[in-house]
Amino acid sequence: MTNVVVVGSQWGDEGKGKIVDWLSERADVVVRFQGGHNAGHTLVIDKEVYKLSLLPSGIVRKGKKSVIGNGVVVDPWALIGEIDRIREQGVEITPDSLMVAENAALILPVHRNVDLAREKAAGGNAKIGTTGRGIGPAYEDKVARRAVRVCDLADRELLEERIDHLLAHHNPLLKGLGEPEVDREALIQELLDIAPKVLPYAGVVWKVLDKARQEGQWVLFEGAQGLMLDVDHGTYPFVTSSNTAPGQAATGAGCGPRNTGYILGITKAYTTRVGEGPFPTEQDNDVGQKLGERGHEFGTVTGRKRRCGWFDAVMVRQAAKVAGMDGIALTKLDVLDGFEEIKICTGYKIDGKEYDHLPAATGLQRKVEPIYETMPGWSESTFGARSWAELPAQAIKYIRRVEELIETPVAILSTSPEREDTVLVRDPFEG
């Protein structure tokens, strides 16, 4: 048996929540390894809907250890708020079931202020379309070595030093943007007030994972967003501020890359994107409207309407190669039910030249014209199918064509938000 890393292969919102929940029933430890509370997973278990942002999907399963790794930036108020909300739904959350890496960097109110102020000042094409939750500025502080970390909450003297260093950078920036400066004493007091609620969950994550390895436990590594939002490999600068690629699972959790295992890319049967940035197959028309309505395409965290378009095989193939995906979980196939014809992007054209990949240059990405292949649709329903025999012939042909174009096999097929409505082709835990 092997561990499993779950990542998105598009721009996020691929339906990772259900797949991670489906896999987490068999895992012993579930680790979130990057991102912040700007990402969200929706789980549906026995008709109960759980909306998670920071908490790993394993938290709703009894007997599982859920871990927030050091690669995550943690808003302590959002964390405690989410714990309280999920508890109200009947889920028991204790330091035995949840651990937060002691060396994880914190998102502070000043980060949210800076995030919103910069987006407001940017405008036009310079606007990234962030969620305004402070994730980017928090990662910047981490890299610049001025972050406040979880473990710092236990040392008031050190905490004050960290805050002084941090505000020496951010307050002049806020002032220059015409925004109020952050009050030092008020911020320190806020942190001292939240510290007793957060610190019981703090722990040494790398030791937990090493113990799991020695005992032969199965670990599920859970990513946020998607490969094309990776700060290195995505549609820069319209990306998130962390590495979403599976290589980050080792660094963001504290274990060697050999211990991460099978790489499963969650892939939607069409394409969506939230926020700004290039989107070659976007359908700003009736097709896009239909995909959005049938797929309920609104962000789990923000509620923002998602841009919708046809499946982009060029982009997913690129993501699969960069990530080293062993297989994909194809989700939301049922949204395509009833389309007379379905298009798949098989190549790009830029200034008359054909490309088999998405160039890194922003200027070229803006000029991309998709090259489409058209396939017949199907009138039958795929919703809730649990075997290949229940799928229409044309739906199977579509799946096989997707596999061929992205050069990666389908390991799991999801046909509804319910965890039971899943076709297992290959068990990721069996490698």
pLDDT digits (tens, 9 = 90+) for 248-282: 999 999 998 999 999 999 999 999 998 889 999 99
Phi, psi torsion values for 380, nearest 5 degrees? -75, 160
What is the dotted CATH code of the domain comprising 109-198? 1.10.300.10
Burial 288-312 (b: 16+ CB within 10 A, else e): bebbbebbebebbbeeeebbbbbbb
Look at residue 46 and tell me whether its pLDDT is greater than 80.
no
Q: Alpha-carbon distance 138 to 115, whole Å?
A: 9
Please compute the mean of the pLDDT values over residues 346-363 and round it to a whole number.
97
Residue in 21, 28, 37, 41 annotated catalytic: 41
Residue 32 Rama label (left phi>0; alpha psi -120 to 50; beta) = beta
Phi, psi torsion values for 318, nearest 5 degrees? -60, -45
Please compute the mean of the pLDDT values over residues 347-370 and round it to a whole number.
97
pTM, to two decimals: 0.92
DSSP 8-state class, residue 180: P
Q: What is the pLDDT of residue 389?
A: 94
Q: What is the pLDDT of residue 263?
A: 97
Q: What is the pLDDT of residue 214?
A: 95
The amino acid at residue 245 is: A
- Identify the CATH homologous superfamily for domain 1-72+204-431: Adenylosuccinate Synthetase, subunit A, domain 3 (3.90.170.10)
Q: What is the pLDDT of residue 119?
A: 80
Please compute the mean of the pLDDT values over residues 302-316 and round it to a whole number.
90
- pLDDT band for position 123 (cuts 50, 70, 90): low
DSSP 8-state class, residue 333: G
Q: What is the pLDDT of residue 431?
A: 74
Beta-carbon count within 10 A of 227 CB: 31
Look at residue 232 and tell me whether its pLDDT is greater than 70.
yes
Weakest-pLDDT range from 67-76, 117-126, 211-220: 117-126
Domain limits, the chain: 1-72+204-431, 109-198
Please compute the mean of the pLDDT values over residues 302-326 and round it to a whole number.
93
Per-position DSSP letters for 183-200, written without gaps between them: PHHHHHHHHHHHHHHHGG
Residue in 13, 21, 312, 326 annotated catalytic: 13
Place of tokens 């896999």: 23
72: helix, coil or strand? strand
Look at residue 129 and tell me whether its pLDDT is greater than 80.
no
Say what percent of the chain tops pLDDT 90: 81
Look at residue 122 and tell me whether its pLDDT is greater than 90.
no
Q: How many helices (H) and strands (E) does the chain have?
A: 12, 18
The amino acid at residue 151 is: C
The question of whether 210 is a catalytic residue gets the answer no
Q: Alpha-carbon distance 67 to 208, whole Å?
A: 9
**414 pairs with which residues across the strands?**
422
Residue 282 Rama label (left phi>0; alpha psi -120 to 50; beta) = beta
Place of tokens 């014809």: 341
- pLDDT band for position 303 (cuts 50, 70, 90): low
CA 265, 266, 269, 271 dihedral sign is negative
The closest of 415, 424, 337 to 383, measured between CA atoms, is 415
Is the pLDDT higher at 202 or at 39?
202
Q: What is the pLDDT of residue 25?
A: 87
The question of whether 169 is a catalytic residue gets the answer no
The amino acid at residue 220 is: L
Beta-carbon count within 10 A of 418 CB: 17
98-101 vs 202-203, strand pairing mode: parallel
Length of the chain: 431
Q: What is the mean pLDDT of the chain?
A: 93
Q: What is the pLDDT of residue 330?
A: 97
End-to-end CA distance of the chain: 6
Look at residue 14 and tell me whether its pLDDT is greater than 60.
yes
